[in-house]
Amino acid sequence: MNFKSIATLSLLGAALTACNQNRVQVTESGLKYQMHEDKEETRKAKVGDILTLQMTVKNSKDSVLGSSYKNGSPIIQQLQVPSFKGSLEEGLAMLSKGDSATIFVSSDSLAARSGQPLPAFIPKGSDLSYTIRVVEVQSEEEFQKAQASQRDKQKGVDDKLIAAYIAKNSLSAKKTPSGVYYVVSQPGAGAVPSRGDVVKVKYTGKTLDGKVFDSSNNQPQTAGGIDFPLGMGAAIPGWEDGLMQLPKGSKATLIIPSTMAYGQQGAGDAIKPNTVISFDVEVVDIKKGAAARGGGMPGGN
C-alpha cells in the first residue's frame, strides 16, 4: 500500500469518526443524544459530583429558552440520580470534562415528572434539546475548596475597587469585619438590630455605575419599606451584615463586595458575575426578636 492510499484511509477514518460523533444515538433506556466532542481520557461525571456547565436549551422549533452564555456565567449543578428514564441527569452521567453533546429530553416526561402542564411554546410529544459543554467535574470537597480559593482572590479585587470608588466620591465609610462598607448619611438612635430581629427597610439597589436593579419604591405596597427578618438566610449576607450596623432611623449606603452579594453567578442581566453592588437604605423600624418568634416575615405587618 502506498503513502497516498494510507493518507486516503486516514482521512476517511477521521471523517467516519466525526460523522459517528455527530449522529443522534439512542441508549437502551431511550435517551437520545448527539456527541460533538468526546474526551475519553478525562474525568467522567458520577452521582454526587459538582459539574460546571455551559448550556443552551432549545425547544423543538429551535427557539432558545435559556443560555448560560447569555447569562454570562456557567451553570453549577450537582449530578443527581436520574429521576426518570431519558432524563437530563442520565445524559450528564455519560459525559466527561471537556465533552460537548446535545441531550434530547422528552417534554412529556418532564411534564409528568413536575406535575405541571407544558407551556404553549413547548409542544406535546416534542423534545427539549440541551447543548452542553462540560467545563469541570469535581467532587463536592474539591468544589468547595476551589470556591473558597476563588472568593479569597475576589475579595482583594473587590476591596481595591471599593476603595477607589470611595476615594473618587470622597465618602466617609466604615468597614465591617466581613468586608461590607457603609456610609451613614443620617444617624439613627438606639440599639442596632441583631439576628432574630425584624427590620422595616426602605431601599434602592444599584451597581457602582449607578444603574438601579431593585427598589422598594417600585411597588405601592412596599413604598413604606419591607419587613425583613435578620439571620434567616433570606437575603445576601452583605445586606444583613450592613443592616446590623444601623439603628432605627438611620439612612446609609451599603457597599457590598461581590463575595457578600451574588458572587460568581451574578443575578440575571442586571448583576453580572463578581459585581460589587450598593444599597441606599433607611431603617424605618426594628422589632426585637420578632423573627425568632415566627412573626414579622416579609409582607407582614
Residue finishing a domain among 118, 138, 158: 138
Residue 10 belongs to some domain of the structure:
no
> Are the beta carbons of 131 and 65 closer than 8 angstroms?
no
Same domain, 166 and 221: yes
Considering 75, 108, 138, which residue would you say is the last residue of a domain? 138
CATH of the domain at 49: 3.10.50.40
Q: The domain containing residue 94 runs over which residues? A: 23-138
Domain endpoint, select from 115, 138, 161: 138
Work out whether strand 181-186 and strand 251-256 pair parallel, antiparallel, or are unpaired: antiparallel
**Could you tell me the CA-to-CA distances from 80 to 84, 89, 214 in Å, in that order?**
11, 6, 34
Residue 165 pLDDT: 96
> How many separate domains does the chain show?
2
| 218 and 121 in a common domain | no
Indicate whether 243 belongs to any domain.
yes
Do 169 and 260 sit in the same domain of this protein?
Answer: yes
Task: Sort 295 into a burial class: Cβ within 10 Å, 0-12 / 13-18 / 19+.
Answer: middle
Q: What is the pLDDT of residue 170?
A: 96
Query: Does one domain contain both 93 and 210?
Result: no
Distance CA 262, CA 144 (A): 16
Predicted confidence at residue 1, as pLDDT, reads 46
Residue 231, burial from CB neighbour count under 10 angstroms (0-12, 13-18, 19+): middle
Phi-psi region at 115: left, alpha or beta (left = phi > 0; alpha = psi -120 to 50): left
The predicted pLDDT at position 20 comes to 52
pTM of the model: 0.65
Taking CA atoms, 72 is separated from 85, 186, 265, in Å, by: 31, 37, 8
Instruction: Return the pLDDT at 265.
Output: 81
What is the pLDDT, as a whole number, of residue 90? Answer: 95
CA dist 106 and 1 (Å) reads 49
> Looking at the domain assignment, is residue 294 inside a domain?
no
Residues (pLDDT < 50) of the chain are 1-19, 295-301
Query: For residues 66 and 129, what is the distance between their CA atoms, to the nearest angstrom?
Result: 11
Among candidates 265, 257, 270, 269, which has minimal Cα distance to 73?
Answer: 265
